[in-house]
Amino acid sequence: MNLPRAHGDAVLVARMRSRAEDFFVEELDGFAASGSGEHLLLSVEKRGMNTAWAAQRIAQWAGVDVAAIGYAGQKDRHAVTRQRFSVHLPRRNAPPLERLSYEGEGGEALRLLGHDWHAKKLPRGALAGNRFVLVLRGVEGERDAIDARLKTVAARGVPNYFGEQRFGRGGDNLHAALSMFAGRRVGREQRSHLLSAARSALFNRVLAARVAAGCWDTPLQGEAWMLDGSRSVFGPEPYSEQLAERVARFDIHPSGPLWGRGELRSQDEAAAMELAALAEPPGEALRAGLERAGLKQERRALRLRPDGLAWNWPAEDALELRFALPPGTYATSVLAELGEVRDGSYEAA
């Protein structure tokens, strides 16, 4: 599905991930280590390896099953990333830390940055967000127009679309989800990924409809509101000067449905737009499948504002972007508002 932009036509064409160092991501820790316990927290930097591969490598180093490894978020292979892992080592000494570092023949690498002890396994989602440093290369476009678009993004934010990585290359995860809902058996972990892909596709449909209508960051009658930085939802309630002030300072956001069982939280005009967007095929099949799977209605903010957005031009055709995002949001949603940004890692594959 081609998702509409909120701020106008593309102002650039560029490549991202021309090399791993062009896509740097650092997890922002959600808590401080307790300093004691049976779980060793490892802060690592990795290059050219995804989170699951790094977890297996750490399990081999520690001599434990991979189930003893915890991490807060999944990180891409084609990047340089910093994140924490936990290793459950009850009543055991950790192996020599210098043996954890790894360099492969293909350029993949794992480097220890720090360590501490903690009382619990690191759970999924236990992060405050992610900080990005991205370099776009082969940039084509008028620099003044690109700078103006970035200023608009900094001021108004972008539509909070789920990124294409949620759906797999060519939308394979969505096709697989439809097959699963039709009766194909899948493993537990794959099932979770496919349910997420189905839910995300429906959310993106609603958000795309509101972007096209010009109301992705302004309220409709019957709006359900989401508090910034949390999953707390309130409303609908009559629009007021107080709500308008909170919207203007990004304290609250209009929201859209993450589909499941139960009644929509939105009402009136907002609910009507949501249901209309979800009625087009294969919306009905995806909704029915999610309901049969037992998921419950939830909400997600429709807009996203990158924190501390800054940029510079290190070369004539290279643009460096720096910003932070909350958990569960996508840097590619920010890039999409600029224009056509091709993934160089796919081209090299």
343 is known as an active-site residue:
no
Task: Please give the torsion angle defined by the CA atoms of residues 259, 263, 267 and 268, in that order, rounded to the nearest 10 degrees.
Answer: 100
Q: How far apart are the first and last CA of the chain?
A: 23
Q: At what angle do helices 283-292 and 268-279 cross, to 10 degrees?
A: 100
Yes or no: say if 20 and 144 are a contact pair by the CB < 8 Å rule.
no
Cα separation, 12 vs 141, whole angstroms = 5
Q: What are phi and psi of 107, to 5 degrees?
A: 95, -5
For strand 12-16 and strand 339-343, is the pairing parallel, antiparallel, or unpaired? parallel
Task: Tell me which of 22, 29, 76, 307 is the catalytic residue.
Answer: 76
Active site residues: 76
